[in-house]
Chains A and B, each alone.
Chain A
Amino acid sequence: MIPEPYSSIINAIIYLLLAPVVGGLIAGIDRKVTARMQGRVGPPLLQPFYDVGKFFEKENLVVTTTQNFYALSYLVFMAVAGALFFSGGDMLLVIFAFTLSHIFLVLGAYASFSPYSHVGAERELIQIIAYEPMIIITAVGMYMVTRTFYVGSIVQSTTPVILYLPGVFIGYLIVLTIKLRKSPFDLSTSHHAHQEIVKGVTTDFAGPNLGRIEIAHWYEYVFLLGVVYLFFAWNPLIAVAAIIIAYFLEILIDNTTSRAKWQLTLKSAWLVAGTLGVINLGVLYYLRMVVP
């Protein structure tokens, strides 16, 4: 095998190059399946790529030029965080790097001083603080089972992580709905036609900036589903199946629920983290203390 750290760097580069492609395909499958659920034909599979191609053909319309900086930073740090994950880095550092990139999106929305962007930014922040405890608990849970924070080691572990972390897994799926911006938790912005505050966070981004944000979302999809993989890493086939089932469930929930208010989002996410997540970890903790 290729020795460290070269294999990490190669993994990171593969991620940086392939993740947009994979993420875009996932987005395309998403739209196709959604359309079929709604009794429509739906767009071609490669539609997300056409969308992003179109964005870059448009004029760079901004409220302030700092928006270019914020959108680019969102993309760059999202890619860096994902690359960190796929190169096997420390899971907590990955989480904080992701938080950094999301902050740039929020700041970009604030920068435009528009009522829709502002409300979108506030809601986006509430979403971030809603899911963050749960994903930190996920990382700590993985540590407790595999004794390491490093993704590289977790992925090679032969322990069936999911058997020890069922509560954490369910909790993660619930906050995955928030992170994927799927109904009922698509408060700050959502794909396609679900308007409430126009487009929320992305209201005042246009053209190339919108393209960058979309590509950043693709990088994020690959990472989020990668975390699902980690729960089943001991058996790659089951892991891929789990990813497919999980994402299908997300699409199903998206199409069958309506948007929740931020109060419900925050409360339910924190409740889930506090109960499912903490109790799962507590049980693990106790077992490890009692059973050596």
Chain B
Amino acid sequence: MTYLAKSPWIIHYDASSCNGCDIEVLAALTPVYDVERFGIVNTGNPKHADVFLVTGSVNEKNREILKNTYDLMPDPKVVVAIGICATSGGIFRECYNVMGGIDKVIPVDVFVPGCAARPEAIIDGVVKALGILEAKRQAMNDRPAAAAKPAGDSV
């Protein structure tokens, strides 16, 4: 059992969602569901986060930001796509500016469908993601330390 599973910090990004799923995500953080008892903390900083919760169907403007935010998360990390829009574009799938699901931009580990996804489903999805996170961590342990090469200059 890694520490990652006991202390998963989440970052939540709204990739042009209608905010329905976002409200449900935040509801999970309220005292009613209180995910902090699992050690989950909502941090707004990708560099501190392990689990990336994304809602919304990605469009041209925020695909870059989605990618950058994902890249700024240190390994190991998991992505949970929340809501049907994040999974496949939902009812906006046919729109001209919509990419149609975040897995077109970043690799996704868990899909949580729904419109809006229920807090229980979200929590369930996050728990599944934690299992995947642990597996990734174990894989990192088995591979030696040259997991990532420094890119660019170093001072």
Contacts and interface: CB of A to CB of B under 8 A. Distances in A.
Given A42-B36, A43-B37, A50-B39, A59 B6 contact: no
A209 to B, nearest CB: 10
A147 interface: no
A40 B31 contact: yes
A43 B6 CA distance: 10
Given A54-B3, A57-B4, A38 B48 contact: no
B141 to A, nearest CB: 9
Given A39-B31, A54-B3, A199-B44, A59 B147 contact: yes
Contacts of A198: 44-45
Interface string B59-86: 0000000000000101110000000000
A156 interface: no
A58 B76 contact: yes
A58 B50 CA distance: 9
Given A53-B3, A54-B7, A205 B43 contact: no
Interface in A201-257: 202-207, 210
A95 B137 CA distance: 41
Interface residues of A, number: 35
A43 B39 contact: yes
A41 interface: yes
Nearest to A56: B3
Instruction: Give chain A's interface secondary structure class.
Output: loop
Nearest to B41: A192
Interface residues on B, range: 20 to 34
Nearest to B37: A41
Interface stretch (A18-26, A60-68, A271-279): A60-68
Interface of B: 2-4, 6-9, 31, 34, 36-39, 41-45, 47-48, 50, 72, 74-76, 137, 147-148, 154-155
Name the 7 nearest CB pairs between A and B, nearest first: A53-B3, A59-B74, A50-B6, A61-B74, A206-B47, A54-B3, A50-B7
Contact of B74 (A43, A195, A202, A206): A206
Interface in A35-57: 35, 38-44, 47, 50-51, 53-54, 56-57
A88 B80 CA distance: 52
A61 B47 contact: yes
Interface of A: 31, 35, 38-44, 47, 50-51, 53-54, 56-61, 64-66, 192-193, 195, 198-199, 202-207, 210
A251 B147 CA distance: 41
B55 to A, nearest CB: 18
A191 to B, nearest CB: 9
Contact of B39 (A47, A199, A203, A210): A47
A47 B74 CA distance: 21
B47 A47 contact: no
A210 B7 contact: no
Contact of A203 (B3, B47, B148, B155): B47
A199 B48 contact: yes
29 contacts: A35-B34, A42-B34, A43-B39, A47-B7, A50-B6, A51-B3, A51-B7, A53-B6, A54-B2, A54-B3, A54-B7, A54-B8, A54-B9, A57-B2, A57-B3, A58-B4, A58-B75, A59-B75, A59-B76, A61-B74, A66-B155, A193-B42, A198-B44, A199-B45, A199-B48, A203-B45, A206-B47, A206-B48, A206-B74
Contact of A199 (B6, B38, B43, B72): B43
B37 A57 contact: no
A195 B75 contact: no
B137 A57 contact: yes
A59 B151 CA distance: 14
Contacts of B41: 192-193
A64 B150 CA distance: 10
Contacts of B7: 47, 50-51, 53-54
